[in-house]
Every structure is written in C-alpha cells, then in structure tokens.
Chains A and B, each alone.
Chain A
C-alpha cells in the first residue's frame, strides 16, 4: 500500500479570485419557496371517507404559505442541498471534541424497524417488552462502561445530561440538609455548556485555572478554601480534558472534592479515548453524562439528535428522573415512576429512544474488546497525526519526548504560520478546498485548531490529511495573501457572517 505524501492543490490553483465565477449556477440554489408553483403537489391523500363536520369560522385560520412543488422537484431540491454539505460519509471531518466517527448503517436499519419506529410512547408496558428490554440493556451497558451504579436514559443531549446531573446533585444536597451548596467549579477550558447548564440550575460557577492544559489542583484547593467547602456542590471536569490530555491527577481531584463533601462530575464528551481503559467510577467520578452521538456512533444529523444518558453512584440514584426502565424478578420489564425523591421529568416521555436503539446496536457490534480497541485506535490516530504535523503546526500540550502524549485529539496553535499574516480562519477555509472539514477552532485556547481524527479513519486518510496540512503550510510560505480568498473550490466563497449578525434575516419574507 502506498503512503500519500503529497496532494495536488485544487485544479485551478490557490486562491485566484477568478475561480469563483467557475462555480457558475452551482453557487446558488434557489429556495424551495422560489420554486413554488400554485396548485402543485408532491403527494395526495385518499378521499375523505366520512361526512364533513361543521367548522366554525371563528376557529378557522388562514392557509399556511408552504411551498407548492411537484414530487420530482422536491427530490431534486433536497438532493442538490445534500450535495452542498460536507459529511463524515464524504469527507474527513476531524472536528475536535465532536467525535465524528463512522456511522454504521445497521444502526439506522435497526431504529427504522417498524416494531421500534412505530411504537407510541404511552403504550402499556406489556405490549412493548422488546423495546423495554433494549432500553434496559443499554442501561446495563452504560453502567458497566462508566463503572457507576445506575443510568438514566432520559436526557436528550449532552448539555441536557449536564443539566439533569446538576439537578440531581442539587437535590441530593437539599435532601441531606445542605442546600447552600450552590457553587460548581469548572476548569477555565471547560465546554461552554458546563457553565450554561449550571446557570440554568441556579448554581454559580467558579473557574479553576489550568496549567499546560491541566487543572491546577492547588487552585482547586484554594478556591474551595476561599469559598468554603460547605458551599461547593461539585467540580465538573472532562477526562481526557478539553486540551486533549489524560488527567493523571483525576483521582486526586476526586479526593479533594470528596474531602470537601462535594461531588466529582465527569463530562463524558471524551469517553471515546478511555472506553475499557479506565472507568469514571474507578477514578472517583460520582456522576457523569455520555454523548451517544460522540462515543457510540449515533449520527450527528446536521446537529442532532443526540442523547445524553447520565450515570450515578448509588447515593445519587434516588434522584434520577422518572420514568426508569427496570427488570422484575420474572424477567419482565417495566417503566418505574415510583421514585419519591426524583427530580421529576426533564423531557416528555421516555427519552431519545431511536438514538438509544442505535447505541445498543453499536455497543453490541463492538463488544468489550472492540470498545477497548476503539479507545486505542483513536488515541493512536491522534498521536500519529500530532507527531507528523508538529514540526510545522506547533502544539502547546504535546511533547512525546517527555512522555506527554495526547489522548484522542490534539490542539495546535500554528503561531509561525499565523505570523506570516494569515488568520486561523484562512487556514480553516483553505482546508475546505482540500475536501477536509475544518477542525474545531479557537477552543479551548485562542487561535487553535483542535483535531480529532477518531478510530474509524484509515491510515490512508490520516496520511492524506498530513499532506493537506503540509501543503497549506507551503502555500502560506509562498503566498500568504492568497489564503484570504479561500475557499475557492467550495460551492460558495466565504460567507459574510458579520453582515448576517448585524442585520439578521432569519426567514424568507417574499
């Protein structure tokens, strides 16, 4: 097998303004409203087979001005739109912290089975034993993977899981006569959802300093002393952390929190790197959330649906949301609502069932060896890319000579390239010309790219990415100004996001 060592620039060469015109008609896809023809339809219904009932005028609304388009043009419209998207299926998509891995199609097949997809959420437990069994098994899988005692499948997404978990922590402390514990500590490089979730629970956030990407435990102790241990509810941490590093002092952080009578909350966004290698419950976490759309291959769908199951230690279990799926001694399954200390409901019905079906299919396909292999291959791939790129793209937290490897993702702050007069955005937009989706940008530190290749990419794809990044660096050496035109080979040239925010047009008004 050959190793890709170089890539050709997009056909017409870097950054010529003239190229934009070659996009021609491809550059503009009319809105579906602009394709509307009065009286046109894409589908019909059987004739009404009952008499018409009276409908009082005062109840009647005006018709909704929806588009009127024939079936073939509907097909063409959405096919055209799909062609204007990068995706995991079509592109390398190393979006750091999002774990854009392959989405197996057996998962989609499973979720669409009529015996799953058609079920009404309020049906009797006796009619849906298969669905409840599946949910119960996902619960058990996640309890084992987390090393914690009980899982709730109700939260709809990661941030929703955070919210639910914080509510549980608050409820626990209230129930234990410590309602004053309202402070949640989080590293200064925490996911933005962490402080936002705290605010929605009425908690105040205190930032803990990080040094070289790691939480400064002295600062953690200082903050606890300063604010009083009795006021602290929890410390929210991600491991591997948001700088893409394993936190070797995580157990110590847990001890500090437990000594203060507080809880350690694990943001499970980066679980992909530790599946089967270590378990949150084993390193001291009391409560955590999973992101099934990251770790367990449920598709990201242009921004959801996800699912954000949470796992807790026994002492927090009474506060989990209702309903909870349980198994009786006779092997039958049911939804238990009899939890007097529950925080209540955080979502209607049971949860993101269709997403959890996919999650079951994935974990079952992988098995325990497979899950561990996923962690290993994701970490291997990230370190391989980091080593290949670091002489050109500086990496503040990566130093393999001194045993400082990255986990499943790495952060680069390409200072030397930026000093040539290009912006980080220029680099990102140029990647699009090479059919690579840009990594996460400006987070967790300013002017950085965060690259997460995931375990499902081939070595060939990884090598091509290295070649692309080196080629872009070469372009910057040769003609930094040309990158300001990027992307030159996308369906549009650079979108004016400043204008969009200044004068927001959120709906089509013609």
Chain B
C-alpha cells in the first residue's frame, strides 16, 4: 500500500492533458545512464495487518520501563503523563500541519507555541523562550554559539559535570570554529565558583553549568554565574531540568542569562532517546540573536489578538550564512506535548510531581546508604538522581536487578556515559512513578547482591 489514489484511467487522462503518452516521458530529463532500471532491493510491500504483526513482534523483543521498574536517568526520565495528552496530540490538525508560515491558517499551533514560550520563560524565570530546539544537547550547543556570536569572545568554560552527551555534542559543534573549550574541574562532584574565576578572562564568552548535573547534584549556579558576571558580556548559561525548576531555584533566579535544557521530562515518552525537545530561554537582550522559531503576539486587520512567526530575519531562509542558526524544522509537536503537559499538570500538579520526585529519591538514597557496603558517592544536595558506591562492580548488580525486572540505574563508568566515575558507581533516578514497594524491592536486590 503506497497510499496513492490516482487510478490508471485517471493517470491516462492526466497524461493526455499533459500531452505525453507514457509516465516515463515526464522523467525525460533524467539521462538514460543514471536511470535506475531495476527495482530497489527492498522487502516486498506488506498489508497493514502484516505490518501490525511484524511491528508488534519487534516491539515484543524489547524490554524496558513498560515491563520493568525503571530507575534509569542520565538525561531521560520515566515520568508519568496523563492519557489526555496522547489524545490531544493525536489530533490530525496538530499532527499533520507544518511550520506556521501562514498565520491565518495556523492560529491554533501559533497560539499554543506562544503559550509554550510563556510557560518556558516562567519555568526558567527568564524573559523570553523560543518554540523549541531538537533536544537538550543541541540546545546547549546553540546557547553557547549564541553567547559567542553576541559577545564576539572566543573562550567557553563548560562544567565537566555536564551530561557527557552534551559535552560531546558541544565539542563537535565547537571544533571547526576558532573557539576554545575549557572543561571546569569538579570537586566532590560539583564545579566551584573558584574554578570558574580561575579560568575567567576578558575573552570568555560563556560559562556553562548544568544543575542538577550528571551526578544528580545541585550545582552552585549563584556562585558560578556570579563569577562569570565579574567580566563584562560573559553569558551565564544554565543547563536545566524542567522538572527540577518546578521545585528548586530556576536559572533566572540564580543569575543565568541563557537557559538550555532537555524537555523530555515534560510529558515526552522515553522512546529510546527521541524525538525529544530542546528548551531554550534567555534574557530579552538576546531577542534578535535567538536560534529557532519565535512566535509573537500581534493583531489582525480588525485589531483582534493574533499570533505569527516573528523576527524571521534571524533565520536561515532569509539570512542564509548570516543566520543565527541553521535550524529549520524543530520539534513542534513535542513543544505542543510539553505545553499540554504543563497545562494538564498545572501550577500545583507540576510542583507536587517535582516534590514527589525529591522525597522519593531521598527515601531511596537514605535506605541504600544504610546498607552494608553501600554509600553515597557525594555529600552534595540532589534532586531526583544520585550516585551510590557499591561493594562490587556495578554490572553484576545491574544484571541481578534485571532478573527481578528492575532497571537499577546507569553505570557511569560504562562507555555510553563516556567512562566517568568508577566501576562500582551506580547512578539512580527516581520519579513520581516509583512506589515505596518498588524502591524497597531495589533495596532488597542491592542488599542480596552486596552480601
């Protein structure tokens, strides 16, 4: 089924109208020597019934948070989201529209994006937000590029406690450009204001600090950003988790100029890493430097409120090589998801969710710390993720937990995490979805394996 609808009779009539006999006449500009004369070597077409079977079979060969208890984090979290969100986001009017270039035909998505921008600005305590980036890592990289381009400076200080994927993407984004990337060392799992101050100079464009950081620890944004602001025009970039912002100090409350983060916790399925949504907010000084789409509120010809894409002269389709970014298609549907999630949870619901994450994580951390041979790797404050040291190599513990249908956490020493930490470290994330019963079951496994 290729979903076309033109019959062979209709095709004949259309070819006749065009004035050719054969469909291949329309491809006459393709020289014979480059035409592909055979059929592509692909599996034959299947009916929907067959596809449903095959897809269900492939899906059944996966195990994960749908049939196990998930304590994995590391930048992607197993949060609850109400069914209502799937129902609303599935509406074809959202699903099958494109970028709202034509305001009068796109007021629905435009207004929703305007509401999204407002929610993200409030969540980060900053002035403005854009309508989304691809995901967290590229949002961070674009934040750095914005800081570099607006300051004209060339050194970038990034906390070594950033998510390793964010650091890796940042390295990729900066390495062709005449810029210097310096990683700030950590003490007890956190960077310090002194470390920032030691590296600051007049050519420093940005100081990038993630909180909660890769260890789950809450960083000293105030101190680090204060040190950044001792120099003129150095941008303080906060890499944030939106769920933490619902409870803890927000980037703007701690002196950040730009905030970039992964929006997956806002009602986006884990979906093996994507599609996710990059969040991007800043002070109003950056309004004409922002990457991505911006929605503005305006009026229509009759003076009523209306919404449209705005400041498009920043963008690639107008400005080409001088654009603030090359981004075109962003993550529209995920921005809609996130705004629906924030609306459905609401002011109280999102804070309560964040509180439950905090209290449950602290309950589990407290119980594990009491076990013989186990301890907290760091003493610093954390939100919903923490690292414990185990009495043996953590791969053995993870395997034992799997047999109890528990995803115990992440091994920071593994290759996927860039081999940070030690072989005995286990990084555990707790969301509001985890019950006391589930956490106690994990504690039991740790105890048994640790003995």
Contacts and interface: CB of A to CB of B under 8 A. Distances in A.
Contacts of A197: 326
B425 interface: no
Contacts of A41: 346, 348-349
A82 B110 CA distance: 10
Contacts of A122: 72, 74, 76, 410, 416-417
A414 B298 CA distance: 30
Interface string B322-333: 110111111111
Residue from B41, B58, B326 having most chain A Cβ neighbours under 10 A? B326
Nearest to A356: B274
B104 A196 contact: no
Interface stretch (B128-136, B182-190, B442-450): B128-136
A453 B355 CA distance: 50
B123 A156 contact: no
Contact of B104 (A108, A381, A495): A495
Contact of A248 (B30, B334, B352): B30
Contact of B128 (A21, A321, A368, A506): A506
Contacts of A134: 58
Given A75-B88, A88-B97, A302-B332, A368 B42 contact: yes
A66 B107 contact: no
Contact of B61 (A115, A277, A456): A115
Interface string A38-68: 0111111100111111011001111111111
Contacts of A501: 296, 310-313
Contact of B17 (A121, A307, A388, A506): A388
Interface stretch (B45-53, B228-236, B369-377): B45-53
B326 A250 contact: no
Contact of B329 (A293, A387, A493): A293
B112 to A, nearest CB: 5
B289 to A, nearest CB: 13
B183 to A, nearest CB: 15
B325 A196 contact: yes
Contact of B297 (A49, A277, A505): A505
Nearest to B121: A507
A259 interface: no
A117 B269 contact: yes
Contacts of B112: 78, 81, 302
Contacts of A373: 2, 4
A225 interface: no
B347 A67 contact: yes
A403 interface: yes
A328 interface: no
B296 A492 contact: no
Interface stretch (B8-16, B152-160, B199-207): B8-16
A109 B59 CA distance: 12
Contact of A303 (B36, B131, B355): B131
Interface in B78-124: 78, 80, 82, 84, 86, 88, 90-109, 111-115, 117-119, 121-123
Nearest to A43: B82
Nearest to B399: A124
Interface in A348-402: 348-355, 357, 361, 363-374, 376-377, 379-381, 383-384, 387-388, 400-401
Contacts of A340: none
B279 interface: no
Nearest to B435: A49
Interface stretch (A4-12, A94-102, A468-476): A94-102
A87 B100 CA distance: 10
Contacts of A89: 92-93, 95-96
A344 B181 CA distance: 15
B351 to A, nearest CB: 5
Interface string A404-422: 1100000000000000000
A306 B329 contact: yes
Contacts of B319: 192, 196
Contact of A405 (B28, B75, B417): B28
Of the listed residues B98, B246, B309, the one surrounded by the most CB atoms of chain A closer than 10 A to its CB is: B98
Interface in B262-317: 262, 269-276, 287, 293-302, 304-313, 315-317
A187 interface: no
Contact of A505 (B33, B122, B262, B296): B296
A380 B25 CA distance: 10
Contacts of A507: 114, 117-118, 121-122, 127-129
Contacts of B309: 497
Contacts of A481: none
Interface string B131-173: 1101111100000010000000000000000010110110111
A65 B125 CA distance: 10
Contacts of B128: 506-507
Nearest to A156: B134
A327 interface: no
B413 interface: no
Interface residues of B, number: 210
Given A349-B76, A494-B104, A120 B64 contact: yes
A309 interface: no
B102 to A, nearest CB: 5
A62 B253 contact: yes
B392 interface: no
Interface centre among A33, A44, A120, A346 (most CB of B within 10 A): A120
A458 B359 CA distance: 57
Interface string B183-227: 000000000000000000000000000000000001000000000
Interface stretch (A158-166, A216-224, A310-318): A158-166
A338 to B, nearest CB: 9
Contacts of A383: 14, 18, 26
Contact of A348 (B163, B317, B321): B163
Given A63-B351, A348-B273, A115 B65 contact: no
A460 to B, nearest CB: 9
B379 to A, nearest CB: 13
A346 B381 contact: no
B347 A103 contact: no
B94 A45 contact: no
Contacts of B410: 122
B351 A491 contact: no
A87 B42 contact: no
B343 A32 contact: yes
Interface string A469-510: 000000000000000010100111111110111001111100
A437 B326 contact: no
Given A50-B436, A365-B2, A163 B135 contact: no
A20 interface: yes
B138 A495 contact: no
B180 interface: no
Contacts of B332: 300-305
A211 interface: no
A23 to B, nearest CB: 8
Interface string A102-141: 1110101111111111111111100111110110000001
Rank and list the top 3 A-B pairs by shortest CB-CB distance, nearest first. A367-B45, A115-B59, A301-B333
21 contacts: A50-B359, A59-B218, A59-B249, A98-B98, A156-B135, A193-B316, A196-B326, A200-B325, A277-B30, A301-B336, A303-B330, A305-B274, A349-B75, A349-B273, A370-B45, A403-B29, A497-B298, A506-B128, A506-B287, A507-B117, A507-B128
Given A145-B40, A496-B301, 13 more contacts: A53-B358, A63-B246, A89-B92, A121-B270, A278-B35, A291-B329, A305-B334, A345-B169, A347-B135, A381-B14, A387-B18, A493-B300, A507-B118
